[in-house]
Amino acid sequence: MYSHIISEKQGIVQLITIDREHKLNALNIELIQEIGLEIDRLNKEKLVRGIIITGKGNKAFAAGADIAEFAKFNSKEGEKMSTNGGIVFNKIEQSCIPVIAAVNGFALGGGCELSMACHIRIASENAKFGQPEVNLGLPPGYGGTQRLSQIIGKGRALNMLISAKTIGATTALNYGLVTQVVPIDELLNTCIQYVQNLAHKSPIAIDAVIKCVNTMYAENNGFNFEINQFSECFERDDFKEGTQAFMEKRKPNY
Ligand code: COA
């Protein structure tokens, strides 16, 4: 049914696995749309009590948006990518069924943003989080500037966004970016157990909690501003140099 994700129902748990291991589960546009369709379906059917999103393999949750795909985009295409991706990430954030990110390695750029759109993040010990877009001549485009600031605070967020430095699982735990760190071979079971525990909690009350918390941030126009800033950068030389450098496996020359 899907080309880039695998979605399996295991009792009251739905496990969505990003299935592009050879590209470190980089998020192409079609893949993000597939996640959106699946979140819609699961929210309509209401047959599960929790959705887990993870990446295939032991190396990456998702190493970002697919750089090879957007490297040739112009500003209009960049705007469309960011807008449509943002719609899907909002669907995750607004899902009435809790969504848990099982972060099993690199969660960079769009991967970090995807994890932050989820309600809960549980990481393996080898997880690494970062927003390295400035290496590519871009700001984040899937809500990273907003959600990172919401979750870990402005100072830490600016530090990560400006420096492009990644943080490991222990720092992510200290920052409150994740709620738990476990050995990689225990990650999925820990997340499944998290959902099993929700079997005895009211789904109606959980839905209300999610809506209430999201309402606290509802008036935030920063998301639209980020889309504008992101798309404008597609016309700049830094973006061409940054994406070219990534594909040529060299450091950019700014
Ligand atoms: N988009 C497209 N392809 C990506 C990708 C991305 N975001 N991240 C990794 N890949 C691809 C690589 O190009 C490589 O493909 P190839 O084998 O055809 O050359 C493959 O995945 C493996 O990645 P590689 O870079 O060889 O692995 P590594 O262990 O040396 O480095 C990372 C791992 C995560 C540090 C490195 O892949 C990286 O920096 N990725 C980009 C991170 C990023 O900038 N994300 C934000 C994007 S908006």
Domain of 98, CATH number, reads 3.90.226.10
Could you tell me where the beta strands, DSSP code E, fall in 68-187? 99-103, 106-108, 120-124, 128-130, 167-168, 180-182
Distance separating alpha carbons of residues 54 and 40, to the nearest angstrom = 18
202-223 average pLDDT score = 96
Q: Identify the band that residue 54 occupies on the pLDDT scale cut at 50, 70 and 90.
A: very high
15-40 average pLDDT score = 98
Q: Which of 21, 22, 24, 115 to mutate to test the pocket of ligand 1 (most atoms within 8 A of CB)?
A: 24
Q: Mean pLDDT in the chain?
A: 98
Instruction: Give me the catalytic one of 113, 219, 232, 248.
Output: 113
| 226 and 232 Cβ atoms separated by less than 8 Å | no
Residue range 216-240, pLDDT digits in tens: 999 989 999 999 999 999 999 999 9
242 inside domain? no
Report pLDDT for 105. Answer: 98
149 inside domain? yes
- What distances in angstroms separate CA 80 from CA 40, 54, 77, 103, one per listed residue? 20, 25, 5, 27
213 inside domain? no
Report pLDDT for 69. Answer: 98
SS3 23: helix
Distance of CA 153 to the CA centre of its chain: 18
202 inside domain? no
Distance 108 CA to ligand 1 centre (A): 10
125 inside domain? yes
Distance 63 CA to ligand 1 centre (A): 6
Domain enclosing residue 42, as ranges = 5-185
251 inside domain? no
145 inside domain? yes
Percent of the chain predicted with pLDDT > 70:
100
How many structural domains is the chain composed of? 1
pTM of the shown model: 0.98
Quote the crossing angle between the two packed helices 75-93 and 110-117, to the nearest 10°: 30
198 inside domain? no
Residue range 97-119, pLDDT digits in tens: 999 999 999 999 999 999 999 99
